[in-house]
Amino acid sequence: MSAHNFRLTSLVPEWTQVGNSISTAYRWDGMTLGLRWKGKPVLALPASAGEHWLVVPTGDRKAPVRATRMQPPRLPAAQAAWERGWYRKGQHASRDALARAVEDGRRRGLELRREDFPQCIFAWEVFESRDGRDHTYKNFGWWISPTATPEEVAAALDHGAGRL
C-alpha cells in the first residue's frame, strides 16, 4: 500500500479518493480532516489550511489508516524544495555525496537523470511504459547549497529541472 501526501488548500466537502488508493478517502471541512477506509470513517483530526498531510493505508483492521501532519523544514530554501515534493529522505549533505549516490544507483541498474544548477542539484529515477511512449519520474536525491535562496530552488524545480 502506498503512502500519499497532499496539501490542504481548498475545502473538500465530499469524500475524495486519496491518491490512487481504492479503499481510502478523505474530506476536509476547513477544521477537521476526515479519513475513511472501505466506506467506514476511521479518523477525524484537526487540520488547517496550508498543512501537508501524509496518509498511509496500513490495511490493519484495528488501525487501517495512519495520518501524520508533515513539518516543513526550517531553512527557507529547503522549504521551497519540500513544498514541491522533495523531502529530507533524499537530501544529501554535499554535491559529492549526491554524485556518489547517483553513480551507485546507476551501477545497480537504475535509470537516473540529474540536473545541476549553480546552487542546487536534483536527480530523478525514470520509469518508461512498456511501449516506451510515457515516462514517470520518482524523486531520487537532491542537494542545495547553504547559500541557496528559496527563489533559486523554486525556479530550478518550477522550470522542470530535467523532466523532459
Residue 127: what pLDDT? 84
For residue 102, how far is the Cα from the chain centroid?
Answer: 19
Query: At residue 66, what is the residue type?
Result: R
Distances (CA, A) of 35 to 4, 41, 60, 63, 66: 13, 6, 15, 11, 9
The angle formed by the CA atoms of residues 99, 104 and 109, to the nearest 5 degrees, is: 125
**pTM, full prediction:** 0.73
Residue in 108, 119, 106, 112 with CA at minimum distance from that of residue 140: 112
Strands (E), 29-119: 32-37, 40-46, 52-57, 65-70, 112-116
Is a pLDDT exceeding 70 seen at residue 10?
Answer: yes
Q: 3 forms bridges with which residues in the sheet?
A: none
pLDDT of residue 5: 83
Q: Does the pLDDT at position 161 exceed 70?
A: no
Q: What percent of the chain has pLDDT over 90?
A: 53
Find the Cα–Cα–Cα–Cα dihedral 13, 17, 23, 27, rounded to 10°: -20
Work out the average pLDDT over 100-114: 94
